[in-house]
Chains A and B, each alone.
With several copies, the nearest count.
Chain A
Amino acid sequence: MAEPNYSADEMMTIAAARLLKNNMVCFVGIGLPSAASNLARLTHAPDIVLIYESGTIGTKPDVLPLSIGDGELSATADTVVSVPEMFRYWLQGGRIDIGFLGAAQIDRFANINTTVIGPYAKPKVRLPGAGGAPEIAGSAGEVFIVLRQGARTFVETLDFITSAGHLDGGDARKRAGLKGKGPSVVITDLGVLKPHPETRELELVALHPGNTKEQAIAVTGWKLRIANTLETTPPPTQAELETLRALHARTARAHGNAAA
């Protein structure tokens, strides 16, 4: 098989973008979720409503923001509200369809850690912390997660749960009183995982072209379940690739060295 003309990260971003539909209201995390959301907006979902926790609603950045509150997000937004209003009226108020999150670590029930590696009081690695994620994970209609799949990211036991996925599985979220349905899909550089309808444990449901389930199993910190029918992600179209690369190129130019 010939080397593909795209990278694993590009495939991941494109696969994530495809899950977003036109007219969805999407609360976007910085980094991979932001790239995927804007790719969706620039391809098949021109009317998607993108919201960043900095207060920018209906934003249409021409280049990817480096921070959650870049001037580009404000300048291209339909409106900019205060951060308390954002969390109170828009997120907690139940106005968000999709919360789109990244993660440092995830477990089999799609619970997320972005707080610490090691004990909380004396961490080995102090990560940035919660930000808006816990309440996005709680209040958004459903949650998409995108992160690279590897031994340090897909772990058996999280040192800290920052944002609730399906907790310990089954109907645990509902019992805990969470309003949103929680993570419905996890997109990685290897493939796509979805929670099992009953147990809510993540199952590998699709592989991106050229990857094998053995690869996915090998880098997953728990015994990864594989769906009965394992799909193959259609490879990036030329249009998707060109749009994504143009977006990254514009971004690199705009941000100078920082994004080079």
Chain B
Amino acid sequence: MAELISLREAIAGLIHDGDRVACEGFTHLIPFAAGHEIIRQKKRDLALVRMTPDIIYDQMIGMGVARELVFSWGGNPGVGSLHRFRDAIEKDWPAPLTVNERSHADLANAYAAGASGLPFAVMRGYVGNDLPKHNREIKSLTCPFTGEVLAAVPSVRPDVAVIHAQKADCKGNVLLWGIVGVQKEAVLAAKRAIVTVEEIVDALEAPRNAVILPHWVVSAVCLVPHGARPSYAEGYYGRDNKFYSDWDDISRDRETFLAWMNRHVMSTADFADYERSLVGAQSKQVSHG
């Protein structure tokens, strides 16, 4: 049953050190506010799952939240590398990171299998690909009807799924639209789910076959306007492409990164405060270089 609580309460109550946590959002609706709150509360030893770890996971990894990363594409979309992600993998900074790497098709199937209560997924994949040599979780299986050999991959079943959505109603039913990624599957595969939303309305007034998460599959709904920025929320605000570009400079150097995180995330009370701190930084023309 969804509780309508603050993001601080939700992260404090529902995410524990050592948990397997999937913050999902495929370019769209990335749960930045929730990620910041995880960093702010100094969660540790998380196994982080995400198809497309981007800036928010770069921040979480760089701030020492993660012990393991399950992922299928790690980059700054349209910009280049994720420097904190690379530094963790290439140089063990700030700590060694166990890499559990898969393909998109694998993780998409693995979330769907998790949501379906199955221990594994079957797919056509990984033929001629070197990942199975390095990831023992990727196996194969023979079709009992045709004899074809297919890939078998373990389900993703996180302790906690974290997503951002456009709307919830006062009971905690959640509506999202546009590029919906694997968010529904992530929530249904997880034991607990935290959803931040742009607004809470009396009634969702959703189209008949819209993507809805009923209140009884969600643990907490938290009102966090702009909670996906610098990602975007269709119908609310666009992608802050400049921030993605700026991140390349902010994150390249460990000290610059730490200073930025300390100033804007660790020293702010919540996401609204973080947004105010960015406006202040911009107006003073702070150089990130």
B72, A138: Cβ atoms closer than 8 Å: no
Which residue of chain A has its CB nearest to the CB of B88? A126
A87 to B107, CA, bound (A): 10
A92, B128: Cβ atoms closer than 8 Å: no
B111 / chain A contacts, CB cutoff of 8 Å: 84
A78, B212: Cβ atoms closer than 8 Å: yes
Q: At the interface, is chain B mostly helix, strand, loop or mixed?
A: loop
Given contacts A78-B214, A84-B108, A128-B73, contact A135 B181 (CB under 8 A): no
* Further 6 A-B residue pairs, CB within 8 A, beyond A92-B123, A258-B78: A54-B181, A66-B239, A92-B116, A131-B73, A134-B105, A161-B130
A80, B179: Cβ atoms closer than 8 Å: yes
A132 to B103, CA, bound (A): 6
A58, B77: Cβ atoms closer than 8 Å: no
Which residue of chain B has its CB nearest to the CB of A53? B104
B182, A66: Cβ atoms closer than 8 Å: no
Given contacts A81-B209, A82-B185, A257-B242, contact A178 B127 (CB under 8 A): yes
Which residue of chain B has its CB nearest to the CB of A133? B103
A21-50: CB near B (< 8 Å → 1, else 0) gives: 001010000100000000000000000010
Which residue of chain A has its CB nearest to the CB of B171? A47
How many interface residues does B have (CB within 8 Å)? 71
Count class of interface residues, chain A: 35 or more
Is there a chain B Cβ closer than 8 Å to A68's Cβ?
A: yes
Is there a chain A Cβ closer than 8 Å to B75's Cβ?
A: yes
**Quick one: which of A51-87 are within 8 Å of B by CB?**
53-58, 65-71, 73-75, 78-84, 86-87
A115 to B72, CA, bound (A): 10
Is there a chain B Cβ closer than 8 Å to A193's Cβ?
A: no
B128, A164: Cβ atoms closer than 8 Å: yes
A83, B214: Cβ atoms closer than 8 Å: no
**Quick one: which of B1-19 are within 8 Å of A by CB?**
1
A75 to B6, CA, bound (A): 31
Is there a chain B Cβ closer than 8 Å to A224's Cβ?
A: no
Is there a chain A Cβ closer than 8 Å to B129's Cβ?
A: yes
A58 to B206, CA, bound (A): 14
B105, A135: Cβ atoms closer than 8 Å: yes
A95 / chain B contacts, CB cutoff of 8 Å: 188, 217
Which residue of chain A has its CB nearest to the CB of B103? A130
A69, B28: Cβ atoms closer than 8 Å: yes
B232 / chain A contacts, CB cutoff of 8 Å: 71
B108, A128: Cβ atoms closer than 8 Å: no
A57 / chain B contacts, CB cutoff of 8 Å: 212, 214
A83, B26: Cβ atoms closer than 8 Å: yes
A111 to B206, CA, bound (A): 40
Is there a chain A Cβ closer than 8 Å to B51's Cβ?
A: yes
Contact partner, A56, options B90, B104, B179, Cβ 8 Å? B179
A203 to B108, CA, bound (A): 36
B101, A130: Cβ atoms closer than 8 Å: yes
B188 / chain A contacts, CB cutoff of 8 Å: 89, 93, 95
B238, A71: Cβ atoms closer than 8 Å: yes
A244 / chain B contacts, CB cutoff of 8 Å: none
Min CB distance, A247 to chain B, in Å? 15
Is there a chain A Cβ closer than 8 Å to B241's Cβ?
A: yes
A49 to B148, CA, bound (A): 31
A197 / chain B contacts, CB cutoff of 8 Å: none
Is there a chain B Cβ closer than 8 Å to A139's Cβ?
A: yes
B266 / chain A contacts, CB cutoff of 8 Å: none
Contact partner, B77, options A68, A87, A94, A163, Cβ 8 Å? A68
Given contacts A54-B28, A95-B217, A259-B241, contact A71 B182 (CB under 8 A): no
A122 / chain B contacts, CB cutoff of 8 Å: 90
**Quick one: which of B193-221 are within 8 Å of A by CB?**
206, 208-212, 214, 216-217
A87 to B241, CA, bound (A): 27
Is there a chain B Cβ closer than 8 Å to A91's Cβ?
A: yes
A134 to B224, CA, bound (A): 37
Given contacts A92-B116, A130-B72, A258-B242, contact A84 B148 (CB under 8 A): no
A92, B105: Cβ atoms closer than 8 Å: yes
B104 / chain A contacts, CB cutoff of 8 Å: 53, 83, 87, 130-132, 135
A74 to B24, CA, bound (A): 18
Min CB distance, A104 to chain B, in Å? 11
A120, B206: Cβ atoms closer than 8 Å: no
Which residue of chain A has its CB nearest to the CB of B234? A71
A169 to B239, CA, bound (A): 43
Is there a chain B Cβ closer than 8 Å to A11's Cβ?
A: no
Is there a chain A Cβ closer than 8 Å to B102's Cβ?
A: yes
In order of increasing CB-CB distance, the 6 nearest A-B pairs are: A69-B27, A164-B128, A66-B78, A67-B77, A128-B75, A258-B241
Given contacts A55-B180, A92-B105, A129-B74, contact A79 B129 (CB under 8 A): no
Given contacts A94-B117, A160-B130, contact A82 B206 (CB under 8 A): no
A94 to B210, CA, bound (A): 22
B179, A163: Cβ atoms closer than 8 Å: no
A162 to B124, CA, bound (A): 15
A130, B102: Cβ atoms closer than 8 Å: yes
